[in-house]
């Protein structure tokens, strides 16, 4: 794999890159604003402000589960 795609680190993605990637693989648009809203609501970030997609996904699942009560 060559180019920028080979350099993606799913454990440390800038928010804009995470939005682009999630939009590409998820079948629906994910915007920077959507991710920033999740971050404001408590979604985890790395110390440098990047997203770990595994931690973010786990947070989303917890949020969905807590809303199902």
φ, ψ for residue 13 (rounded to 5)? -105, 135
Does the reported pTM lie above 0.75?
yes
Report the alpha-carbon distance of residue 18 to residue 64 in Å, rounded: 20
Q: What is the pLDDT along the chain (69 residues), one digit of tens a residue?
A: 455 556 889 999 999 999 999 999 999 999 999 999 999 999 999 999 999 999 999 999 999 999 865
DSSP for residue 14: -
For residues 29 and 23, is the Cβ–Cβ distance under 8 A? yes
Place of tokens 């350099």: 7
8-state DSSP, 44:
-
Give φ, ψ of 19 to 5 degrees: -60, -45
């Amino acid at each position: 794999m060559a180019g920028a795609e080979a350099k993606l680190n799913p454990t440390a993605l800038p928010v804009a890159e995470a939005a682009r990637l999630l939009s590409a693989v998820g079948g629906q648009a994910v915007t920077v604003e959507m991710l920033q809203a999740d971050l404001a609501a408590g979604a985890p970030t790395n110390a440098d402000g990047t997203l770990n997609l595994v931690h973010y996904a786990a947070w989303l699942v917890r949020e969905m589960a807590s809303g199902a009560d």
